[in-house]
Each structure stands twice: as C-alpha cells, then as structure tokens.
Amino acid sequence: MSGTCDGGWYPLMLSADLELGTVAGSTVLGRDLAVWRDGEGQAHVWDDRCPHRGMRLSLGFVREGALACLYHGWRFGVDGRCVHIPAHPDLSPPGTIRAAPLPVAECHGLVWASVEEDGSLPEGDPAMDAAAWVPVRSLRIEAPWQDVARAVGMPDGHRAAALDRDVEGRVLAALLPVREGACMLHLLAAASAGVERLHDLADWGQDVRARAEERAGQVFLAGVVA
C-alpha cells in the first residue's frame, strides 16, 4: 500500500474498529461511505445511499451476509445487488437495483478504499510492510489534514507513513481528509509495543489534536453550559 496520494486510496478506519457483522460510516472529502464487514470477515465499502430512497446505509445492520437498510429493510449482498425486499418477500429483485461498491483493501491494520475511479492498485511501502501494526486509536481532528500531516512529521505528499518519532519504536500514522478543515488521524504502533507505550501514543494523539485545533481556532472544552 503506497502511503502517497497516488491512486486515490484513503485510510478509512482501523480494521479493529470494524467488528464482524457490523457497519460503520466514514466520510472522505465530503463523500459519505458505508463501511461494513460480512460474516466471513471481508470488508466492503459502498456509497452511503440506499438505492431504494437514498437513506444512509451506515445506519443499517448486517444480516445473513447482507447489509440491511434500517428504513424499509431492503438487503444488499456483497456485490451490492439487492437480495431481499421485506414488503415483497417472494420477489426476486431486479439486478439493476444495486448499491455502489468501491475498491477495498485491508492492510497494515487499516481499511482502505479507492474513491477515484481510475485509482491504481495499492503498492508496497517498505517501511510500512516491515512491521506488524497494533491499533492504538483514531481521532477526529477539526483542522486541515495537511496541517496535521506536517505536525506529525508525515513526508510531503503522504497520507500515511511509518514515522520514526522516538527511540521506542515506529508509529504508523494515517490521515483521512473528512472535509475541508476536518480529518481523522489513525495511529498504530509497531509490534510488539507494551501497553504503556500504547497509552502514551493515545495521549500523544490527543496532544496532536489539541494543538492542531488550537492553530485552526477550534477549541472544544467541556464544562457546564446553559
């Protein structure tokens, strides 16, 4: 998997956060996606629009190897085709009713999707391939992804990289541009990091978030409000 911006591959979420038989939402550059894992463990990424009436598929649930829409219960198989319409249980739905699957890859502890139609296939990145990665966490940051990339020391033009932050081991940082001025930062540690180190990296993520948002003029302080 190349960490560069070529090929249109984006790191959506930590693999560990997509449990078997569940669906989650994700947004890339303002485009809403439904990310789901079937009973066999395979991840799927579709546009987050139900072919029936356009409701969000990410609010649905996974049943019998298919993604079910919450609103009227239409179910869609792994190829995106509608396999079941509860209001017409005996009907075999026409093949033209289908969700829009995107190319998906799962590696380095992350679920990736290619959101550009001509996206080339992922290529190897030696530093990222050289380690097994332990998930730490993902954070939403209300700041431009390029600013966060600079702050964590990402090489120019990369959305993901194995960073040599400190002597205690490498960190995989991956950035998902959510929309203008907001991103998700995913952090993983090179195996076999101890629990203390994972806690430290999780805290470091909070620190990166706080600083980036301060630079962006966004501060989210809890407290008692009216």
Among 24, 25, 27, 52, binds ligand FES (CB under 6 A): 52
Residue 138 partner contact from other proteins, ligand FES, none using kind-dependent CB cut-offs of 5 to 8 Å:
other proteins
Residue 50 partner contact from other proteins, ligand FES, none using kind-dependent CB cut-offs of 5 to 8 Å:
ligand FES
Q: How near is the Cβ of 47 to ligand FES at its closest, in Å?
A: 13
- Give the Cα-Cα-Cα angle 32, 205, 57 (nearest 5 degrees): 20
Among 87, 126, 156, 219, binds other proteins (CB under 8 A): 219
Q: Where are the beta strands (DSSP E) in 58-144?
A: 61-63, 66-68, 75-76, 82-84, 101-102, 104-107, 110-114, 133-141
Task: Report the first-to-last Cα separation within the chain, whole angstroms.
Answer: 48
* Site for other proteins, residues 65 to 104, rule: CB under 8 A: 70
The residues, ordered by sequence, that sit 6+ positions from 60 with a Cβ below 8 Å of its Cβ are 23, 34, 50, 67, 68, 69, 70
DSSP-derived 3-state class of residue 11: strand
Residue in this structure with the two tokens 């066999």, named with its chain if needed: 40
Q: Give the count of residues interacting with ligand FES (CB under 6 A).
A: 8
Asked if 111 and 157 touch (Cβ cutoff 8 Å), the reply is no
* Site for other proteins, residues 187 to 216, rule: CB under 8 A: 195, 198-199, 202, 206
**At 9, phi and psi to the nearest 5?**
-90, 130
**CA gap 89, 71 in Å, rounded:** 16
Residue 72 partner contact from other proteins, ligand FES, none using kind-dependent CB cut-offs of 5 to 8 Å:
ligand FES
* Amino acid present at 162: A
Residue 164 partner contact from ligand FES, other proteins, none using kind-dependent CB cut-offs of 5 to 8 Å:
none
Residue 225 partner contact from ligand FES, other proteins, none using kind-dependent CB cut-offs of 5 to 8 Å:
other proteins
* Site for ligand FES, residues 55 to 114, rule: CB under 6 A: 55, 69, 71-72, 74
Interface contacts to other proteins, rule CB under 8 A: 13-14, 17, 19, 22, 24-27, 58-59, 61, 70, 136-138, 140, 184, 195, 198-199, 202, 206, 219-226
Contact residues: ligand FES, CB under 6 A: 50, 52-53, 55, 69, 71-72, 74
